[in-house]
Amino acid sequence: MPSLLEGNALFRGIYCWLAANEGNSGPGPCGEALRDGLLPVGWEWVAFFAAGLGIVMLLINVFLLLVMLYTYMERRLLGRFQARLGPNRTGPFGLLQPVADAIKLLTKEDLVPAGADRLLFNLAPIAMIVPVLLVLAVLPFGENSFLANINVGILFVVAVTSVNTLAMFMAGWASGNRYAMFGGMRAVAQLVSYEVPVVLSIVGILLYTGSLSMVDIVEAQRIPFILLQPLAFFIFIAGSSAEMNRSPFDLVEAESEIVSGYHTEYSGMKFGLFQLAEFGAVLVTSGVMATLFLKGWEGPVLPSHLWFLIKVFFFAFIMIWVRATLPRLRIDQVMDFAWKFLFPLSLINMFVTAVEVLVWEEPTLVQLWAMVGINLLVAVVGIVAFSFVFKRRGLSPSRVTPPLVVVEGD
Amino acid sequence: MYGLGIAKGFLLTMKVFLRKPVTVKYPEQRLKQHPRFRGEEFVWYEERCTGCASCAKYCPLGIIKIVTHPGDQKPLEGGFYDIDVFDIDIGRCMFCGLCVEACPYDALFMGSGFEEGQYRRDDLIITVDRLRAAEKHPSTWFRPQLEDSGYDPHKDSPASWEKVGRENWPFHLSSRPPGPADSDEGAQE
Amino acid sequence: MPLRTEPITINIGPQHPSTHGVFRLRATFDGEVILDVEPVFGYLHRGSEKLAEERTYTQVITLTDRLDYVSSMINNQAYVLACEKLAGVEAPERGMYLRVIAAELQRIASHLVATGFLINDLGAFATPLMYCFREREKILDLFEMLCGARITVTYMRVGGVFQDAPEDFWPALKTFVKEMPIYLDEYEQLLSENEVLLIRTKGVAILSTETAINGSVSGPVLRSTGYPWDLRKADPYELYDRFDFEIPVGERGDNYDRYKVRISEMRQSIRILEQCMQQIEPGLVKTDVPLLLRPPVGEAYAHVESPKGELGFYVVSDGGVSPYRLKIRAPSFINLTILRELVIGLKLADMIVAFGSIDVNMGEVDR
Ligand code: SF4
Ligand code: SF4
């Protein structure tokens, strides 16, 4: 049996059931009875494939169900933050609201504008949702529960999620709508900028763990990294909410300005896919945050999967709270915030962490707590100092003299 | 320092989050309407109506249609016309209440409901038959004699034409019924 | 090699989430920077002025409700004041007090809508809007007690108000006056110091007093430039000379000042309401003016301080039952004309906010 997937009981079950393999004997669900699988010798790869498919299907469906739950939760909680009830008509407590939404979206007419680039237009929603699902592959969602524990896990996450930029730009460009194009332009500028501080904030963690694998990162957290790397956490949560277009950085689909940004022209299930990807991204990012900063699945008493879910929804709740409170920034302020505020801070964080790791190579618990103290101090001082600089220097002026644009008609 | 103002905002939203929501689940729970609420369906007392068509004349939109013929004596004063048609097209009505204000015989009242949704536009016309048959929950709008009797159309039983009474003091001129009118029978006690 | 660039022209509206009705802005952008805007009006034109010519004086009140539909009471007030001037009648004192109470409540309601939508334009996902509407709802409940309707009130009549307030109105008003400052504090806690709001609004879309006066701008937009012009003080109509209140002014005339002036004005309105409740005495609420009014031949102009600015009604009578001509000086319409000066050179997002901070109501602009 391929060792890579040994950790997963379900996978092993399917695999053993199908494949006739010497290695089947042994503890676990594949006992003696299953020594002769359904498939002849030499066809194990089919079993491998089928087992993988099965578990991927399961994972994606559970994930999508969670996303539905999350959309419901977001709307209900936003309602409560706004002193109203939120959806409560469909099903008990309105729980079936996401189902009703999905049915509505599925039955809607699928419009493609006349001026659109058909191929790109249809491709964009897919390009949007795939990265979100791909991240699930490396996300350890419980003890020994992951699809793949690849040794570049976090790098994979970073790489895959940046495909979103492309999808948004595709959608914006292909719609042939100027609002959508504004959205696409903003998406490229904003998402690419925020990629930098986010990745740099992760580097601090990697310096401690010395590994890029998500599982290793969880296991290396003797103290949750949210304490050990408070600055990194701040940068990560700010940066990733910018990457997910969450308030206060939701310029890409700023409803009051550019209607709905890059997906203005989408209707029906294509629009649904965008929404799904966006809400999915919140869950996935919360998952990554839980893994990186809050010890992933680890926790006392409760089963590990539950712990993971609790942490995910905790971060999701924070994001909903932020969305309910903050107005939106302007595009130049968003860029300033990334390059003049988050970027230097992430460099500072990286530097301080590197020094610490150099000084204490094998830190004891006491030394770790010392690091917590130092890093908290650095975080507070850094943020305060930078906000002063930021405030005094001021942001870019709100009014720029319009350039003399000469357009020759041609 | 940056951030303090934002933190305050976060505290406030959390405070509201923990409070009870102000909205209600509409069909099951309802907010209370004031007795003066100008409701959609009209309340019309044929016993009182003389067919003078003041209401039709004063309606800014001209949506009350009245057809009458000379009839027998009416139970109350001045009634010489029987009503054939008394249609109010509430599809165009703006519930300004000027028709009620104009009615000199206190025969027309605003209603107290607000759930007059119909599937077809024609169904929005309140015909004379519907007006006759309807349960009468008159709004106390512009009818101080009703208001003084403490009638609440949303709670109390339907009011008959005797019960709603006539105003017999120039109510709109003062905050209290002036002296002489007080001694009158006045509003239905 | 310089890149060849081209300005983009976008039609913002007539259907757009933040045009506050049906309003169209033809805007030319260089990237995100606005090169030119051209407002296009008229999508909500209902011909109110013409319609008024074939309605009786009382029936026109229902039309004024629908001009600026978030401040119908004050529209009523301006119109009946003009008619009273024309007909030479005066409302009794209690009637005037009731009108002032209704008008000040309406001013708070309108400013709440303006603030809520301004913050919504800033991109706060409807939260402040919901909070503002929560309080506005209470004002609308008070209106329902007064006159049976919430938005299209038709409350005032030539010569007073149609009827006295019911008994339960006064305790309700008292509670409202007591609670409202608390809620105003809440808004300020949420908004006034919020850094995101500050950097979005401070110093953005600055209006100078000269430009404002040259553009005939009035209301909170003018006051935000630091010029204390309020018709309630400058030309006290009704009973406004009896109340003790201040005219809040801004410093620089930017978006933030416009927001702040509105918040402060709400506090002043509450002060006026308190004084009203102390001063009001029993008495008549309406002089005996027939429903079918026939004012003598002549003309009259009356103006009030509406939440948007100077709202004026010019009524000409030829002695008949309906006005010969009715002209409405709509503050929203006139305030909107300075939008172009405000926003050229700003970013798209700021234009939306500047537009929201002028607080126009398309029902009034297009009439
Ligand atoms: S309420 Fe107004 S619009 Fe409706 S019928 Fe009466 S007068 Fe006409
Ligand atoms: S004004 Fe009154 S009495 Fe005259 S027709 Fe209308 S309802 Fe009847």
CATH of the domain at B161: 3.30.70.3270
**Percent helix, strand, coil in chain B (nearest 5)?**
30, 15, 60
Residue-range domain boundaries for chain C: 1-45, 47-206+272-341
Residues of C whose CB is below 8 A from A330: 200, 347, 349-350
% pLDDT > 90, chain A: 0
CB contact under 8 A, A256 and C34: no
Do the Cβ atoms of B34 and C144 come closer than 8 Å?
yes
Residue B2 in any domain: the answer is no
| ipTM attached to this prediction | 0.80
Measured CA to CA, the distance from residue C152 to residue B88 in angstroms comes to: 19
Same domain, A221 and A126: yes
Q: How far apart are CA C153 and CA C72, in angstroms?
A: 7
Q: How far is the CA of B96 from the centre of ligand 1 (A)?
A: 5
The answer to whether residue A146 sits within a structural domain is yes
Amino acid at C1: M
B158 SS3 class: coil
Q: Judge whether C212 and C227 are in contact, CB under 8 Å.
A: yes
Structural domain span for residue B92: 33-188
Sort A320 into a burial class: Cβ within 10 Å, 0-12 / 13-18 / 19+. buried
- Give the whole-angstrom CA distance, residue C99 versus residue C107: 12
Q: Are residues A49 and A174 in the same domain?
A: no
Percent of chain C residues past pLDDT 70, beyond the cut: 100
Domain count, chain A: 2
Residues of C in contact with A395 (CB under 8 A): 199
Q: Is the pLDDT of residue C332 over 80?
A: yes
Specify the pLDDT at position A409.
47
CB distance A250–C123 less than 8 Å? yes
- A311 and A338 together in one domain: yes
At A2 the pLDDT is: 47
Same domain? A297 vs A228: yes
Nearest bound ligand to the CA of residue C58: 1
Whether B121 is in a domain gets the answer yes
Tell me the per-residue pLDDT of C211-234, one tens digit each, with 9 for 90 and over: 888 888 888 888 888 888 888 888
Please enumerate residues of B whose Cβ is less than 8 A from a Cβ of A. 1-3, 6, 9-10, 12-14, 16-17, 19, 21-25
Q: Within this chain, do residues A213 and A358 fall inside the same structural domain, yes or no?
A: yes
End-to-end distance of chain A based on CA atoms, in angstroms? 67
Q: Lowest mean pLDDT: which of A163-177, A313-327, C184-198?
A: C184-198
Q: If you average pLDDT over every residue of chain B, what do you get?
A: 76
Check B10 against A325: CB less than 8 A apart.
yes
Per-residue pLDDT tens over the stretch A180-234:
888 888 888 888 888 888 888 888 888 888 888 888 888 887 778 888 888 888 8
Supply the angle between the helices C255-279 and C93-122 in degrees, to the nearest 10: 160
| A209 and A115 part of one domain | yes
Give chain B positions within 8 Å (CB) of A79. Answer: 21
Share of chain A above pLDDT 70, in %: 83
Look at residue A334 and tell me whether its pLDDT is greater than 60. yes
C48-95: pLDDT as tens digits:
888 888 888 888 888 888 888 888 889 988 999 898 888 888 888 888
Global pTM reads 0.85
Nearest chain A alpha carbon to B8: A325
Contact B6 A325 (CB under 8 A): yes
Structure tokens given for A19: 């494949």
Q: What is the pLDDT of residue B145?
A: 77
Give the DSSP letter string of B42-111: EEE-TTT-----HHHHH-TT--EEEEEEE-S--SSTT--EEEEEEEEETTT-----HHHHH-TTS-EEEE
From the list B1, B3, B13, the residue facing A325 with the nearest CB is B13
Q: What CATH class does C47-206+272-341 carry?
A: mainly alpha
Residue A102 has pLDDT above 60, yes or no: yes
Contact A262, A183 (CB under 8 A): yes
Is a pLDDT exceeding 50 seen at residue A410?
no
- Is 60 exceeded by the pLDDT of residue B93? yes
Span C262-274, mean pLDDT? 89
DSSP structure class, residue C311? E
Q: Which residues pair with C300 in a beta bridge?
A: C315
Residue C296: asked if its preceding bond is cis (omega within 30°), the reply is no
Chain B hits for A88, CB-CB cut-off 8 Å, are 25
CA distance C321 to chain A (A): 46
Residue in chain B nearest A318 by alpha carbon: B10
Residues A309 and A227 occupy one common structural domain:
yes
Domain assignment present for B18: no
The verdict on B32 touching C (C-beta cutoff 8 Å) is no
Contact by Cβ (8 Å): C122, C294:
no
Question: Residue A76: which domain range?
Answer: 1-89
> Touching C: which chains, 3+ CB pairs < 8 A?
A, B
* Pocket of ligand 1 from Cβ distances under 6 Å: B 59-61, 63-64, 88, 93-99
Produce one character per residue of C99-108: b if its CB has 16 or more CB atoms within 10 Å, e if not: bbbbbbbbbb
Residue A165, both tokens: 């930029």
- B11 within domain boundaries: no
The answer to whether residue A140 sits within a structural domain is yes
pLDDT for B138-163, tens place per residue? 888 887 777 777 788 777 777 777 77
Interchain CB distance below 8 Å, A388 and B6: no
Q: How far apart are CA A258 and CA A252, in angstroms?
A: 8
Average pLDDT over residues C345-366: 84
How confident is the model over A350-393, as pLDDT tens digits? Answer: 888 888 888 877 777 777 787 778 888 887 888 877 777 766 65
Answer yes or no: is pLDDT of B183 > 50: no
Can you tell me the distance from the alpha carbon of A9 to that of A22, in angstroms, rounded to the nearest whole number?
Answer: 18
pLDDT of residue A293: 85
Contact A257 C134 (CB under 8 A): no
Same domain, A206 and A296: yes
Give how many domains chain B has, as a whole number.
Answer: 1
The residue-averaged pLDDT of A90-105 equals 86
In a domain, B167, yes or no: yes
A180 lies in the same domain as A46: no
User: Within a domain: residue B162?
Assistant: yes
d(CA A95, CA B64): 46
Provide the pLDDT for residue B175.
45
* d(CA B105, nearest CA chain C) in Å: 15
Q: Identify which of B12, B21, B25 has the shortest CB distance to residue A80.
A: B21
pLDDT for the residue numbered B25: 84
The number of beta carbons lying within 10 Å of the beta carbon of residue B160 is 10
pLDDT at A19: 64
Query: Average model confidence (pLDDT) for chain A?
Result: 79
